[in-house]
A and B are shown apart, each in its own frame.
Chain A
Amino acid sequence: MSDGGDRVPVSYPIARQIPADVLDGEARRLATIARAPLHRRIGGYARLAGPGFMGAALTLGAGTLTSSMLSGATFGYRTLWLIWLAAGLGLFMMAAMARFTCKGGFRVIQVQNRRHSWLVGSLMTGLVGTAAVAVIFNFGQVALGTHLIESLAPFVGISFPAEYNWILYVAVTSWLILSYGRRGGLGTRLVETVMKGAIALMILAFGAVLLVVGVDWDAAARGFFIPWLPGGGAGLDLFIASSAAAVGVMDWVFFHYAGLARGWGRNHESLARFDLVAGLFLPFVLVNFLVIGVFAATLFPQGITPESAPELAAALMPLLGPTWSQILFYVGFLAVPITTTVGMSLAGAMAIHEALGWEPDTSSWRWKLTALLPQIAFLAAWNARPVWLVIAIAAFLSLANNVVGWSMYLLLNDREVLGRDRGKSYLWNLGILLQVTLLNAIAIVYVFNRLGWW
C-alpha cells in the first residue's frame, strides 16, 4: 500500500457476487457520463448512485426526526440553518470515506487496526461506534414504527396494536436486510431502490402536509440563512449536538462499505461525491426542512411542545385538517424508522464482520444472524428499553467518536496508506478538523456534565 499510483482495489466479498460484465458495463457507462454535458451527467449519476441515498435513509431516523420536530415546535423556523450546516460539515469526512473506498480500495477498519490499533479500529469504530449503536438505536426505530402502524390502522377501520404489529415491522425490514448482496447484486440494487423510494415518499408526504398547513416563507428564509441560537448553555448544547451528530461514525462506516459492496473503484470517485451531495446532503436537508416547517407552522404558534415523537405526531393531527393529510403524514413518517432499521442492520453486520476479521458472505448464517441482531429491538413494542445499556453506549460514544474522527483524519493524510491519493487540500482537512473539534466538544461537555461543571 505504499504506492498510490497503480493500486488495484481490493475486491470486497459482497462485490464479488456482482457479475464481471455488470461491473464492466457500469465502468463503460461512467466513462460515457464523464464526457456528457452537465444535465445528462447529473441524470446518469443519479441512476448509478445508491450508497449516499442509503446513508440518508440511515441518518433520517427516529432520533433525527424527533429532534427536528422538537426544534420546529419549540423554536419555529429559527434553527433551520443548523440543518444545512451540520450536513455540510459532515460532507468533508464523508468525502474522505469516498476516497478510502474509491482510490484507497482498502477496508478501513482493517487499516485502522494496522495503523492505529485494534482499540480504535475494531472496538471503537466497528463494535461500539457502529454495531452496538445499530442494536441500541433500533429500539427507538421499532418503538416509533410500531406506534405509527398502530396509529394508521384505525384509518382503515381496524385495530392493530404494537404488541402484534411488530411482527409485520420485523418481517418487512428483515426481508429487505436479507435481500442485500444477494442474487448477483440485484438484491443490493433492490434495497437501494427501496431506500430512494422511501426518501421520495418522505419528501412527498411531508411536502404535501407542509402545503396544507402553510409556510411562512419570510420566517423560513430568515431561519435558513441567519444563524440563531437560544441563549445560555442550552444554545451551545443545541449547536454542538446538531452540528456534530448529523453524520457520525456509523454513517462514515456504512457509506465506505456500501461503496465497496457496489464494486466501486478508482473511476467511481466523481459518482461517490455526486452521491454524497444528491443522495445524502440534499435529502437530509430537505426532509428536515419540511418536518421543522410543519411543526413551526402548527405547534410553535400554539406553544405546544410534547417530548416524544408519538406525542408530537398526535398533537399535530388535529391541526392537519383533512384525513388524507393525516394519513400522508403517518405514511411518510413510517418510512423513517423502516429505512433506518434496514440501514443500521446492514451497517452493524458489516462492522461486526470487519471488527472480528470475518469475510462477509451474505448467504451465510453468520451474516444473517449479525444482520438481524438489531431486530432484538422488537421488545420495544412493549416499551422495553435497556436503559443501562443506552446510558453506557451513549457515554462510550460521546467519549470515543472524536478518536475515530482523529483516526480517519490521520488516514487521509497518511502517505503509507494512500500514497499519492492522500488528501492534498487544505480546505478539505480544515472541514474535517472542524467536525473533529465538534466531536471533541461533545466528549468534553459529557465529562464536564459528569463532573457537575456544565
Chain B
Amino acid sequence: MDAGVTRTLQRLLERPIGPWSGRVWGLILNLAGNAIALWGVASVMRTGAGWTWIVIGGVGTAVCISALALPALESEVEQEGDE
C-alpha cells in the first residue's frame, strides 16, 4: 500500500468520528460486511442465488480487515525518542 494512503488511513483510524474512533467504526463496518456475506451464503443454500451478496460482503470484509490491521501512528514524542 502507498505510504501516503497508509498514513491517511492510520490517522482516520485514530480520529474520533462521533461517539467513537475510526477503529471502532471500522469494526462495525467489518461486522456489516460479515453479515452481508453470510446473508449471501444463506441465500445460496436456500435458493441457489445470492452470489453477489457473498462477493460484496467478502470484499467489504477484506477491505475492513486490511485497513484495521494497520497499527496506530507513531507519535512525535516516540519518533524523537527513537532518534
Contact = CB atoms under 8 A, between A and B. Distances in A.
Interface of A: 5, 232-233, 236, 402, 406, 409-410, 413-415, 420, 422-427, 429-430, 433-434, 436-437, 440-441, 444-445, 448, 453-454
A359 B36 CA distance: 44
Contact of A437 (B23, B34, B41, B71): B34
Contacts of A424: 71-72
B65 A434 contact: yes
B3 to A, nearest CB: 13
A432 to B, nearest CB: 8
A429 B42 CA distance: 29
Contact of A406 (B27, B42, B78): B27
B69 A453 contact: no
A444 B42 CA distance: 11
A413 B78 contact: no
Interface in B30-46: 30-31, 34-35, 38-39, 41-42, 45-46
B69 A444 contact: no
A437 B39 contact: no
B65 A425 contact: no
A426 B24 contact: no
A406 to B, nearest CB: 5
Contact of A422 (B27, B34, B39, B72): B72
A414 B42 CA distance: 36
A429 to B, nearest CB: 4
B30 A453 contact: no
A433 B39 CA distance: 20
B5 to A, nearest CB: 14
B31 A430 contact: no
Contacts of B65: 430, 433-434, 437
B31 A415 contact: no
The binding surface of chain A is classed by DSSP as: helix
The 4 closest A-B pairs by CB, nearest first: A429-B69, A430-B69, A440-B34, A424-B71
B8 interface: no
Contact of B27 (A236, A436, A445): A436
A441 B34 contact: yes
Interface in B50-83: 61, 65, 68-72, 75, 78, 81
| Interface size, B (range) | 20 to 34
Contact of B38 (A406, A413, A426, A445): A445
Given A232-B45, A441-B34, A453-B42, A429 B23 contact: no
A429 B71 CA distance: 7
Contacts of B68: 409, 429, 433
A394 to B, nearest CB: 19
Nearest to A420: B78
Max chain B CB contacts within 10 Å: which of A406, A423, A433?
A433
B58 to A, nearest CB: 11
Nearest to B26: A433
A426 B71 contact: yes
A147 to B, nearest CB: 37
Given A232-B45, A453-B42, A440 B30 contact: yes
A422 B42 contact: no
Nearest to B68: A433
Nearest to A5: B81
A290 B61 CA distance: 35
A410 B24 contact: yes
A424 B61 CA distance: 22
Contacts of B78: 420
Given A406-B24, A429-B71, A453-B46, 7 more contacts: A233-B45, A406-B27, A410-B23, A429-B68, A433-B65, A441-B34, A444-B35
Contact of A454 (B31, B42, B71): B42
Contact of B71 (A236, A413, A441, A444): A413
Contact of B75 (A5, A232, A415, A430): A415
A444 B34 contact: yes
A409 B69 CA distance: 10
A423 B71 CA distance: 7
B8 to A, nearest CB: 16
9 contacts: A233-B41, A406-B24, A410-B23, A413-B72, A415-B14, A420-B81, A427-B69, A433-B30, A444-B34
Contacts of A426: 69-71
A436 B72 CA distance: 18
A94 to B, nearest CB: 18
B71 A425 contact: yes
A220 to B, nearest CB: 30
Nearest to A453: B42
A315 B45 CA distance: 34
A435 B4 CA distance: 28
Contact of B39 (A409, A410, A453): A453
A236 B42 CA distance: 11
